[in-house]
Amino acid sequence: MERRSLFRTGFTGALGLLGLTGPARATESTPRVRVAYHLSDFDRVIFVLGNIQNHIDGTGGPGNADIRLVVHGPALKAFHAIAAADNVVALSERLIKGGVGFDACANTMKAQGVKLGDLTPGFVIAEKGGVVRLAELQVQGYAYLRP
């Protein structure tokens, strides 16, 4: 083998061990990204839903990330079925179909006088509250994002 070939082989092998030879390829053993999005501001609902869609697109499409949206406070009003804007409903449905989980704070639901059936479809109740749910998700290894 030529000296250059030996050097190239050794150098490429060393870079490979360091993970510097190129983009990582997803394999079945590669864990999916786990992210908990925190939404409490009414005026940021569309922005956050758009961020989540961008996140899904950036990971290669639905099913490549485990994403939960935890909603509490004034933001939950945007998901009251009777008053929800069409674009909020459409974005939510698209994200839910893509595997995003939607958690509604039980404390906020009580304060706003709504039940699960009063929200847009796809929510589950965060029985202990939204902030407790966010902490639970972080303990389970979810990254925390509050755009």
Architecture of the domain spanning 33-145: 3-Layer(aba) Sandwich (3.40)
Tell me what pLDDT residue 13 has.
52
32-74 per-position pLDDT tens digit? 899 999 999 999 999 999 999 999 999 988 889 999 999 999 9
Task: Of 20, 30, 110, give the one whose Cα is nearest residue 73.
Answer: 110
The residues, ordered by sequence, that sit 6+ positions from 113 with a Cβ below 8 Å of its Cβ are none
Supply the pLDDT for residue 50.
97
- Say which residues have a Cβ less than 8 Å from residue 140's Cβ, sequence separation at least 6: 34
Q: List the one residue out of 104, 133, 136 whose CA is nearest residue 120.
A: 104
Structure-block tokens of residue 3: 């000296």
Q: When comparing pLDDT for 133 and 29, which is higher?
A: 133
pLDDT band at 137 (very low <50, low <70, confident <90, very high): very high
Whether 96 and 122 have beta carbons less than 8 Å apart is answered as: yes
